[in-house]
A and B are shown apart, each in its own frame.
Chain A
Amino acid sequence: MSERTRDQAQQSNGSVETSHHPATDPERKDKGYYGIPPIKHAHWTWQIPVYFWIGGIGAGVHLFSTIAQILGHKDEDLIRASRYTVLGTMILSPVLLIWDLGRPERFYNMLRVLKLRSPMSTQSWSVFAFGTLSGLISARQAADDGLLGDDNLLVRLVKLVPARFLSILSLPVGLNVGSNTGNLISATSVPLWARNWLFMGPTFLASGLSTALSWLSLVLHLTHSGEKKTMHTLHRAEKATILIEAGLIAASLIRMSKWSKPLFSREVAPLFVGGTLIGGILAPFALLFGKESRPKSILASVLALAGGLAFRFAIIKGGRISADDPEAYFTFASGDSAPQPEDKV
C-alpha cells in the first residue's frame, strides 16, 4: 500500500477502493473472462455452406424424380435432368467437403468407422452411398442416352443397372444427405444451432427441396424441355414447399428464442432477412401466383436458389456469432434451454 493511497484513505474518512470478491459485488454485471468466448466456433469456410446448399439440391431433386417415377409419371426430360443433377451434386459435394479438411489427403478416414451418434460420420457415409448409387443410375441414363457409344460391352453391362429400383433404394440415403446437415450443426455446443435441434434437419430438408424444385424448373425452362404438366406439378410443389419452409423457419425462430439474435445482426441480417426471408421465400412465392409465364418462373427459380444459398450462409455465420458470444453460451448453458438427457424425444 503506497503512502499516497494511505493518505487518500485517511482524507476520505477511512473509505478506500479495493479489489474484491467479484461475486459479492452487486454492481457487477459482466460475466465470463474478459469477453473471451468460452467455446470455440467452427472454423469451416465457404465450402461448407455451399456444400449444404448443393447437397440439399441433390436430395430434393432425387425426392421429386423418384416420386415421379413411383407414380408412373413418364417425362424423360425430367428424369434425365434429375439424374444428371444428382450426379453433379454428388461429385461436387465430396470435393467441397474434402477441400475444407485440414488434412485433405486423409479424407478416406471418414469411412474408417461408422458412428450413429456423429452426424458428421453418418453424413460422410450417406454422401458416399448416395454418390455411388447416383453414379450407377446416371451411368444407366447415359447408356440410354447413347452417351457411352452404341452397343459395346460397357453399354450392355450398364443397361443391366436397375435404375428405377436403385432410385427408390437410395431415397432414404438421399433424404439423409439433405436433412442431416441440419442435425450436424445442431449437435454442437453452439447455442443458436443446438437450441434448434428439433427443426434444424426438417428446415434444411424443406429448403433443400424448394431449391431443388426451382433448379429443375429452371433447367427445364432454359433447355426448353419437359412436359407442360411436369412444369405445372413443379410449380404446385414449389408453392407448397415454400410455405412449409417458411413455417419451419418461423418455428425455428420461436424455438431459438433469444439465441436467434445473431440472425438479425448487422452482419447476417442482409443474408437472413433480405436474402432468405424476402428474396428466397416471399418474392418467389409471390411470383409463382397468378398466370404462369416463363420469365416469371425463371426469376422465381433464380431467387429461390439464391435464397437457399443465403440461408445456409446465414445459419453458419449466425452460428459463429453465437459461439463467440459468452453471454449467449452462459445463458444457454445455465438453464434448461440446453438439450438435457431427460428431455422428451
Chain B
Amino acid sequence: MATGFLTDTTVCIGCKACEVACKQWNQLPADGYELTGDSYDNTKQLSGTTWRHVAFIENPKKRRLTGDVDLVALAEGVTEPLPGGAELDALGRWAFMSDVCKHCVEAPCQQACPTGAIIRNEFDNVYIQPDVCNGCGYCVPACPYGVITQVPHDGRAFKCTLCYDRQKDGLEPACAKACPTDSIMFGEVEDLKVIAAERVQELHDKGYSRAYVYGTPEVGGTGGIGGNHSKFILMDEPETYNLPRHPFLPQEKVKGGTIASMVAGAVLGAVVALAFRDQGR
C-alpha cells in the first residue's frame, strides 16, 4: 500500500492553511519575517523548515485587451467567449500551488543518502530517519525538485515526512486536514490517480484544456524517477510552478561514470609506466 498526495491547484485559494498546519504539527521553526515583494508570498520555497509551500503565481506583465470588453464579466471570471474577441482565462489569472515533497517512486535523495537515513517506510513514503542522518547534505543537490535543505543550527536534513506519525495513528497529514477547499487530498496513490484523471477530464470538459496531472511517468515525464507519489493538477507549464519539465534520476549515470573513471585510471597508469621506460638501466 502506498499513500500520497494529490494537490489540485485549480481549487487552491492561497490561504496557506496547509503551511501553517504543517509548521504547527511538525513543530518547525519560523524562517524569519521577510517581505519578499514576490506577490503575497513571503515564504518563498520549500526547505528543511518549510515542508509545504504555497506559491502565488501572478504575472507582472499586463496584456492589453482590445475591443469592447465587459469589465464586470472579466472580474467575475467568465470563460465564455468575451465581447470583442477578447480572451481571458479566469483561472489562469492568479494561480496558487501548494508544493510539497514529491515522494518519488525512485527517489534520488534516497539513492544519494550514504548513511541509509532516507528510507521508504511502510506507507511507501520517502522518509528521513532523523536519528540516522549525519547532515552530509548530499541529498540536497540530489533532489530534482529542490525539496530538502540542511537546517542550520540542527545540522541535519529535513523534509516532508507525509506526517508519518499521524498516518501511524490513522490520521491524514496535517496539511490535507487543514485545507479548506480540498485542494490537498490524501489517500492511496491508486485511488488518487483515478480522482486526478476524473478531475482533469472535468476541467477539460469545462474548457480548461490545459489542465494536466504532473507527476505520473506518462505525463510531465519523470525520466528514471518512475513518477511521484504526490501528484499535482496543474494548469500551466511546469516551469511556471518552479517545477522541472522532465526531472531525471541523477544516479542513472553512476555506473557509466565509474566505468569511464576505470578506463581513465588504466590509461593514466599506462602513461606512468611508459614514463619509466628506459629508466631502469
Write the residues of chain A forming the contact surface with B, with a CB cutoff of 8 angstroms. Answer: 1, 5-6, 9, 14-25, 27-28, 31-34, 36-44, 63-64, 67-68, 70-73, 100-104, 106-107, 109-110, 112-113, 115-121, 123-124, 172, 175-176, 178-180, 182-184, 186-190, 193-194, 197-202, 205-206, 209, 229-230, 232-234, 236-237, 240-241, 244, 248, 319, 323, 326, 329-330, 333-335, 338-341, 343, 345
Contact = CB atoms under 8 A, between A and B. Distances in A.
Contact of A18 (B93, B115, B243): B93
A112 B272 contact: no
Q: What 5 A-B pairs are tightest by C-beta distance, nearest first?
A: A102-B135, A102-B155, A21-B92, A202-B264, A201-B261
Given A102-B157, A189-B144, A237 B271 contact: yes
A329 B59 contact: no
Interface in B1-45: 36, 38-39, 41, 44-45
B135 A103 contact: yes
B250 A188 contact: yes
A201 B266 CA distance: 13
21 contacts: A1-B75, A20-B63, A20-B92, A36-B38, A39-B143, A67-B273, A68-B276, A71-B280, A73-B280, A110-B114, A112-B132, A115-B114, A175-B261, A189-B141, A198-B256, A233-B275, A240-B274, A241-B271, A329-B244, A338-B223, A339-B223
A238 to B, nearest CB: 9
A187 B250 contact: yes
A113 to B, nearest CB: 4
B273 A187 contact: no
A110 B253 contact: no
A52 to B, nearest CB: 14
Given A14-B84, A202-B261, A244-B267, A40 B236 contact: no
B187 interface: no
Interface stretch (B145-153, B162-170, B174-182, B188-196): B145-153
B55 interface: yes
B257 A183 contact: yes
A201 B257 contact: yes
Contacts of B213: none
A194 B239 CA distance: 20
Contact of B136 (A102, A187, A237, A329): A102
Contacts of B61: 25, 27-28
Contacts, number: 347
B136 A101 contact: yes
Interface string B241-264: 111111111111111111111111
A109 B62 contact: no
B146 A40 contact: yes
Contacts of A323: 141
B248 A339 contact: yes
Contacts of A341: 223-224, 249, 252
Contacts of A9: 69, 71
B134 A333 contact: no
A177 B63 CA distance: 56
Interface stretch (B105-113, B120-128, B198-206): B105-113
Given A25-B61, A41-B141, 16 more contacts: A15-B65, A40-B148, A41-B140, A42-B141, A103-B155, A109-B134, A110-B134, A113-B116, A188-B112, A199-B260, A201-B260, A237-B271, A244-B268, A338-B248, A339-B249, A343-B256
B254 A333 contact: no
Nearest to B157: A102
A199 B134 CA distance: 30
- Of A5, A37, A121, most buried by chain B (CB within 10 Å of CB) is A121
